Amino acid sequence: MGEINHFMHREHSLKFIENLEVVVGISVDNDEKNGVGHCHGCQEPMLGGSGYGCIPCHYFLHKKCVELRPTINHHIHPLHPLTLVDHGDLEWTCDACRKEGQVGGFSYYCIQCDFDACTKCSAAIARKEEALIKFQHEGHPEHTLTLQSRSASFLCDACHSKDEGLLYQCEDCDFWIHKTCTSLAPTINLPHHHKHPLVLVYSLLDNFYKFEYFCEFCDRYILRNGWLYHCANCRYFAHIKCALNAMQPLISSDALGTSVAAEECVNDFPQFPMSCAFTDPLKLLHLENMDLDDDNTTEINHWSHDHPLIFNVESQRNNINNIGCSDPVEVCFGCVRPLSLPYYSCKDGCLFTLHKYCAELALTLEHQLHPDHSLDLVDTYEEEDYYICNGCFSNGNRFVYTCEACKFYLDVNCAFLPNTIKHKSHKHHLVQVIGPDTRCKACYKLFDGISFACKSCKFRLDMFCAL
């Protein structure tokens, strides 16, 4: 749902925002002057995901807080139903968990008894009530499923990813699925496969058993009893997680603005090779938001640096002093690319600089090249060894998206390469894939990093030849 009316904010409707960190510039330290740091309902940080918001009023709610019921019954206060209220700026205490000194936010309240229950306590009650209901799902028709009242980290039998969350469990067999996977869309449309929609199925169809099939995105084997999205007409198969991560290209035609690159975009996909070198995917991605006057925040605190950072719309030549080079170039300490306006620099005089868009990078990222786990943004400057990017195999010592459990690393530039491109050397769209060792059709070298491939034609270009 893109827009809703919520009874706690009657002044304006609330719009669904896909990435709150980018849209409202939330900072890690949740300082209100750097953006909206907390959900108005539960008072918890709005980091790392989507939610509903009214940007003019700086009013934001998690999806889970939007869905809170207007009234509930709580076993600690059985005398009367509890009603959802907004405390505004008042201080209050939860009478269920005895947490004191809470200011503002939602609670469930009994006006007759002056009894408050915070949203965490009330959510637990709602889950317990829901857990009493047996759930039948067509993806597991043999038995009923029961909602577990606490979240856990487990390997989901639907999307085959090990994420933490609420789950449904079969009491008769070892079948566990995320609660979110029980409501997957029955059909989706992917830009990589525009001919037909992809249909959700809960196992490989019988007529495909004679052959081996691999996911169009991760190149992993499609299990016979695994949930997947597929197009039977085209024999196109994708794991649940891979398909959902790839629903929107990371760099779309809208993000290309009115530059030369915009003219080199065909059917919503970037057209390669471009007339100028494609060396800065982050800048291309954020080109439409590069208005120098679009930010009233002049100072922020950023998780990657000890001192405050100030906003610059004119070059200060911050980090080129005392460099023994005839033609020094200022660089961003996040993406390690040439510095461009607007950017942040250290208020205390350090040489540290950061692109505005690098300062606003999401702290977690779901990426189609590593569908099993989300990737965390870290700064590796203090580490002894350089990391090696799994995308381009370059060494790095600054910002990187990583899965520590798998030792998987993507530097921030590789992480935001386009998912799908159109290349003049091939008639079909090319989809971003990674490994195993395959030979590039342009240079004939083996490469197991990021490549762009047409599976049906067995055509592949490594990222250096493609871009």
**Over its length of 467 residues, how does the chain's per-residue pLDDT go in tens digits?**
567 888 888 888 888 876 665 455 444 344 443 444 678 888 887 765 678 888 778 888 888 888 888 888 776 777 888 899 998 888 888 887 788 878 888 999 999 888 888 888 776 666 555 555 677 888 888 888 888 867 788 888 888 887 777 888 888 888 888 888 888 889 988 876 777 889 999 988 777 777 778 888 777 788 877 899 988 888 888 888 888 877 644 433 333 333 333 334 445 567 776 656 566 677 776 655 555 455 556 888 999 999 999 998 876 665 544 444 445 678 899 988 888 888 899 988 888 999 988 988 889 988 888 888 889 999 988 887 888 999 999 888 899 999 988 899 999 989 988 888 888 888 888 888 887 767 888 888 888 889 998 877 778 899 888 88
Q: What is the pLDDT of residue 2?
A: 64
Please report the pLDDT score of residue 409 as a whole number: 93
Q: What is the dihedral of CA 280, 285, 291, 292, to 10 degrees?
A: -40
Nearest to 252 by CA among 279, 288, 305: 288
- Per-residue DSSP letters for 139-173? TEEEEEEEE-SS-EEEE-TTT--EEEE-EEEESSS
What CA–CA distance (Å, rounded) separates 368 from 417?
Answer: 11
Q: Name every residue whose Cβ is closer than 8 Å to that of residue 169 and which is 6 or more positions away in sequence.
A: 145, 146, 148, 175, 176
Distance CA 419, CA 368 (A): 8
Beta strand extents in 62-220 (DSSP E only): 71-74, 77-86, 91-92, 102-103, 106-110, 115-118, 134-137, 140-147, 152-155, 162-165, 167-170, 176-178, 187-190, 193-201
Contact (CB, 8 A) for 198 and 240: no
pLDDT at 59 (0 to 100):
85
The 3-state DSSP class for residue 117 equals: strand
Tell me how far apart the alpha carbons of residues 393 and 451 are, in angstroms, rounded to a whole number.
12
Q: Identify the CA nearest to 55 among candidates 99, 110, 3.
A: 3
Give the span between the Cα atoms of 117 and 110, in whole angstroms.
Answer: 9
Contact residues for 79 (Cβ-Cβ < 8 A; gap 6+): 110, 112, 113
**Angle in degrees, CA 13, 18, 24, rounded to 5:** 75
Provide the token pair at 374.
């989300």
Query: How high is the pLDDT of residue 402?
Result: 93
| Interacting residues of 37 by C-beta distance below 8 A, sequence separation 6+ | 26, 27, 29, 30, 31, 45, 46
Question: Looking at residue 318, what is its pLDDT?
Answer: 53
**What's residue 135's pLDDT?**
79
Q: For residue 135, how many other CB atoms are within 10 A of its CB? A: 15
Q: How far is 412 from 416, CA to CA, in rounded Å? A: 7
Written as six digits, the tokens of 362 are 């999401």
Phi, then psi, of 130 in degrees rounded to 5: -70, -30
The Cα–Cα gap between 86 and 466 comes to 54
Chain center to CA of 101: 33
Backbone angles phi, psi at 16, to 5 degrees: -75, 130
